[in-house]
């Protein structure tokens, strides 16, 4: 019989998760050796840092980038149509809008895109120069700002340019639409990347969801109170009622019950626990009541150590990633040099208007050469592999373990839940004399209908399949 208490108890208040934890450790998915307290940007690649251990909080960077992307798309689409209208089917834009009005419309549409939506790129680009770690945001910020400033100067001071640069209306060609389209596409890439990074953290979030949210503490005077899980201390006496998750790793002091440990062992059959037996936090108590003594809490529990191992494996570097980092490190300075050479070559030997061609091609080199895929491919592959593996019960020690899988010739695996379904299934029925198989199975299934035992459930499911 379960021990009962006739005293009242309190329940912890539900609180909404805050947007950020000032004491949380943040790291870079591309450079896991970078760690700091609180959010920020990576000093090497400029990417926004993310929590070392994923939680259920909303991804503020994804939210911000999504907002900037949709605003950029809202203004860039009409900007592109107005700029390229004469090349599109139908009535030419030049017959509907005068050149003077058109150029100012382009400026007005480009302003929110280049000044608001692209602002994070400028900040990261400036930080990369200050830290002497040039990265893809250096190229993006430089390319977009050059295109925008050049167009602004060309619009306001066309007389500064040679006559060959000006068209019949006296205007110099501007490239507001190029800057707008570049920003919008880069933002789209950032949103897709952040969503992918967010999804790789779902495995850890699901592991976090396995833990209990509160515990029922038995105080020294015998009263009981519900407390948040993070307030459980080593040595606390905790009551675990039937069907509840065990809040911490510990030892059974009183009671007897069957405990479902499938989330740890993969075995579907509950294990009988009584006084003196060890229990693991996040496993599920059966039909009996238990009183346990907490021995490992917080980050020391088995589940927490598993979560930490998955997080570390996701951000560990594979040997091939070191090569990618080396190439990316010298890639950006080379691209800037190539862009300068491109400008000089087109400016001297290019066709008229040479300066215009030189500017466009130099900016194009800066933009299209962003080493996003080079730096992201390997770490994203590692994060996806470790995340998906954790959901299937496969835990990798580090990224190197994944890379050397191609070299193995022998694979040793756990049977239950890996090679098998992980739960019993009714295969054959041998009825006693004077009973048909269907009749016999229906009687047995009716007896097991109310039971939650895995064997009973297998019999009930088998009976349903045969009817």
Q: What residues are annotated to the active site?
A: 414
Spatial distance between the Cα atoms of 462 and 465, rounded to a whole number of angstroms: 5
Spatial distance between the Cα atoms of 217 and 232, rounded to a whole number of angstroms: 8
Contact 264, 329 (CB under 8 A): no
Q: Which helix (H) or strand (E) holds 35?
A: strand 35-37
Please measure the distance between the N-terminal and C-terminal CA atoms of the chain and give it in whole angstroms.
39
Spatial distance between the Cα atoms of 189 and 373, rounded to a whole number of angstroms: 10
Contact 137, 121 (CB under 8 A): yes
Spell out the SS3 assignment of 216-274: EEECCCCCEEEEEHHHCCCCCEEEECCCCECCCEEEEEEECEEEECHHHHCCCCCEEEC
Alpha-carbon torsion 81, 86, 88, 92, what sign?
A: positive
Residue with tokens 């949210």: 213
Q: Is 290 helix (H, G, I), strand (E, B) or coil?
A: strand
**Is residue 425 left, alpha or beta, with left meaning phi > 0 and alpha meaning psi from -120 to 50?**
beta
Q: Cis before residue 347, ω within 30 degrees of 0?
A: no
Spatial distance between the Cα atoms of 139 and 150, rounded to a whole number of angstroms: 16
């Amino acid at each position: 019989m379960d021990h009962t208490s006739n005293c009242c108890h309190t329940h912890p208040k539900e609180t909404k998760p805050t947007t950020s934890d000032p004491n949380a450790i943040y790291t870079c998915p591309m450079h896991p050796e970078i760690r700091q307290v609180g959010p920020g940007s990576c000093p090497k690649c400029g990417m926004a840092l993310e929590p070392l251990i994923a939680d259920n909080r909303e991804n503020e960077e994804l939210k911000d980038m999504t907002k900037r992307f949709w605003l950029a798309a809202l203004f860039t689409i009409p900007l592109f149509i107005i700029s390229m209208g004469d090349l599109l089917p139908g009535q030419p834009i030049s017959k509907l809008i005068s050149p003077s009005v058109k150029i100012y419309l382009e400026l007005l549409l480009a302003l929110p895109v280049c000044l608001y939506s692209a602002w994070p790129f400028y900040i990261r680009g400036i930080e990369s120069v200050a830290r002497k770690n040039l990265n893809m945001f250096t190229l993006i910020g430089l390319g977009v700002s050059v295109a925008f400033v050049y167009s602004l100067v060309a619009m306001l001071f066309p007389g500064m340019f040679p006559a060959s640069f000006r068209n019949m209306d006296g205007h110099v060609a501007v490239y507001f639409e190029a800057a707008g389209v570049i920003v919008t596409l880069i933002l789209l890439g950032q949103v897709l990347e952040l969503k992918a990074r967010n999804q790789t953290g779902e495995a850890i979030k699901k592991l976090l969801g396995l833990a209990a949210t509160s515990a029922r503490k038995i105080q020294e005077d015998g009263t009981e109170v519900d407390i948040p899980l993070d307030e459980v201390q080593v040595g606390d006496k905790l009551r675990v009622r039937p069907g509840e998750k065990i809040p911490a790793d510990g030892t059974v002091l009183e009671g007897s019950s069957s405990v479902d440990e499938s989330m740890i062992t993969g075995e579907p059959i509950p294990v009988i626990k009584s006084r003196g037996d060890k229990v693991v936090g996040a496993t599920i108590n059966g039909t009996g009541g238990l009183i346990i003594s907490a021995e490992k809490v917080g980050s020391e529990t088995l589940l927490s150590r598993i979560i930490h191992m998955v997080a570390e494996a996701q951000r560990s570097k594979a040997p091939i990633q070191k090569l990618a980092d080396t190439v990316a490190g010298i890639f950006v300075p080379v691209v800037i040099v190539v862009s300068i050479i491109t400008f000089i070559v087109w400016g001297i030997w290019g066709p008229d208007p040479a300066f215009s061609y030189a500017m466009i091609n130099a900016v194009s080199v800066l933009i299209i050469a962003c080493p996003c895929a080079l730096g992201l491919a390997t770490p994203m592959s590692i994060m996806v592999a470790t995340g998906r593996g954790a959901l299937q019960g496969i835990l990798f020690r580090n990224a190197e373990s994944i890379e050397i899988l191609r070299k193995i010739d022998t694979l040793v695996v756990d049977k239950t839940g890996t090679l098998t379904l992980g739960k019993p299934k009714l295969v054959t029925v041998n009825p006693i004399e004077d009973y048909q198989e269907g009749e016999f199975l229906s009687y047995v299934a009716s007896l097991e209908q109310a039971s939650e035992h895995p064997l009973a459930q297998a019999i009930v499911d088998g009976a349903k399949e045969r009817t």
